Structure 1
Amino acid sequence: MKTAILAGGLGSRLAEETVVRPKPMVEIGERPILWHIMRHYLHYGHDEFVIACGYKGEVIKRWMLDYATLSADVTVRPRRGEVTVHRSDVSEDWAVDVVDTGQTTNTGGRIKRLAPWVGTDTFMLTWGDGVSDVDLDALLAFHRSHGRIATLTAVRPPARYGHIVTDGDQIVEFSEKPQIGEGWINGAFFVLEPAVFDYIEGDDTQFEKEPLEQLAKDGQLMAYHHHGFWQCMDTVREKHILEELWRSGNAPWKIWE
């Protein structure tokens, strides 16, 4: 089963970092957040990835190549254009297709451009800027149990600011990073059938708009409710939250060790 990861957006709200690299290459614990996402999937046995790149996609391609070769013994024959990797200490046994899906293509368009790469079977999809401890085995089992075209992982988002409860002027409860008690949002971590491509018109289509809205109207969109950890990385503040969790040795998404 292929796992597609969208990694081509501009990441404008994280401009301090993304001026020189795409958002999925912003590092948490000296590794790109893309690597963290892929390690999560690999833990559940999903080792075939298709990365949809766009903005500064060459950075992703270069990192994938360097990650494989810099930890290995290599033979280089420049005149023949050959590089032979003899041994590698890389522990991640995965296969990765890095696909240029265009500089300005919207999310739906990027997904549709991956159709030849994911094939005609069920596939997984997520964004390249969010981590979670979602149980991918349970997610896949849920998807197969209902027989619809699409499943998204519904999460309760963490609050951006400290939450307080007051009695008059007295604070009686304070929580620095609570999870919002009401409402669910799209947390990505999709499972999709190839029929989803029929809901996407072209490059300008935003997946979160017409395709998901129409799938819902057609009764073809289901929600897997995840009650555990989930955090996106849209801002520098959210990057710092993830960095501190990683440094503390208590990163909830690090389920592979």
Structure 2
Amino acid sequence: MKTVLLAGGFGSRLSEETVSTPKPMVEVNGKPIILHVMDIYSHWGHQDFIVACGYKAMMMKKFFHDLPFMANDFTIKVGDGAIALRPSRTVDWNVSVVDTGLTTMTGGRLRRLREWIGGETFMVTYSDGVGNIDMEALLAFHRSHGGLATVTAVQPPARFGNLELAGDRVAEFTEKVRKHETWINGGFFVFEPEVLDYLSGDEDVLEQEPLAALARNGELFAYRHTGFWHPMDTVRDRDHLSALCATGEIPWLDLRPAMAPVGAAPVGLTNG
């Protein structure tokens, strides 16, 4: 099963880094965030990736071209340049890197990949968000409801302090906001190939009319993930994720089997 990684945006909210580096290449704990995302899928045996790049596509292509040499040890004969790889990783990823256009939107990038994806069920996610998603449970859920599309619904991380008000009086002040029953789009989609028929051009934003149309037609279902999930939208997010790695326990790789998913229903299409 192929996994599409949406990796072509400008990353304007992380402009401190993305002025010179594509957002998926911004490092978390010394490793590009896109590799952290791929590690999640790889844990569950999904190792066939399509990277849909755009902004600084040449840099992305060069990175993946050089990745076998960066990820493994090798011996090089300086005389003739012959190289013998000495694998030091247990993964065997197959990565297709496709330039889907500089200004193409998320839905348009998927549409351009129709021939790469083929006629089978496939997965899609963003290259800048991580979570300890149970891929086996996600796929089982997708197959159980019979619809064309599944989105992983997550609860947004707390970013601000919380004020509990009683009229004009502050009844309680807490450092972290309490989690209420709010769900947003966390990526980690599962799509049937017919989803591509909902896309018409490069200007299509997946998270707007295409997903809204799928929801109206009763074809979009939500897999509720209550475990760890966090995007990397800002420098603060990057630093937070790096700090979590520094503890020695990477929460998005705490990939024990999940509890059974709760319910199956369309959700709001707020993009995480």
Same fold judged by TM-score > 0.5?
yes
CA contact (8 A) 2:162 2:178 kept: no
Same amino acid, percent of matched pairs: 48
| Counterpart AA for 2:151 | L
Query: Could you tell me which residue of structure 2 aligns to residue 247 of structure 1?
Result: 246
Deviation for aligned residue 1:171: 6.7
Deviations 1:138-178 (A, max 9, x none): 000000001110000011101221224467867745243x4
Output the aligned Cα RMSD: 2.2
Query: Could you tell me which residue of structure 1 aligns to residue 269 of structure 2?
Result: none
| Structure-2-length-normalised TM-score | 0.86
Deviation for aligned residue 1:225: 0.7
The verdict on how the C-alpha distance between 1:108 and 1:59 changes in structure 2, with shifts beyond 3 A counting, is same
Please give the secondary structure, in 1, of the residue aligned with 2:207. Answer: coil
The verdict on how the C-alpha distance between 1:58 and 1:221 changes in structure 2, with shifts beyond 3 A counting, is same
Give matches, 1:31-180, under 5 Å. Answer: 31-70=31-70, 71-75=72-76, 84-165=83-164, 172=172, 174-176=174-176, 178=177, 180=179
Please give the secondary structure, in 1, of the residue aligned with 2:253. Answer: coil
| Counterpart AA for 1:151 | T
| Counterpart AA for 2:36 | H
For 1:90 and 1:25, how far apart are their aligned partners in 2? 20
Which range is displaced more, 193-202 or 164-173? 164-173
- What 5-or-longer segments of structure 2 have no aligned partner? 257-272
For 1:256 and 1:182, how far apart are their aligned partners in 2? 24
For 2:82 and 2:248, how far apart are their aligned partners in 1? 37
- What 5-or-longer segments of structure 1 have no aligned partner? none
| Counterpart AA for 2:222 | A
For 2:52 and 2:22, how far apart are their aligned partners in 1? 12
Deviation for aligned residue 1:50: 0.4
Deviations 1:35-90 (A, max 9, x none): 000000000010100000010122222222222114332557999xx865432223
| Counterpart AA for 1:193 | E
| Counterpart AA for 2:242 | E
Deviations 1:194-239 (A, max 9, x none): 0011000111111111100100111100000111111111111111
Deviations 1:76-113 (A, max 9, x none): 7999xx86543222333111001110111000000111
Deviation for aligned residue 1:256: 6.3
| Counterpart AA for 2:74 | D
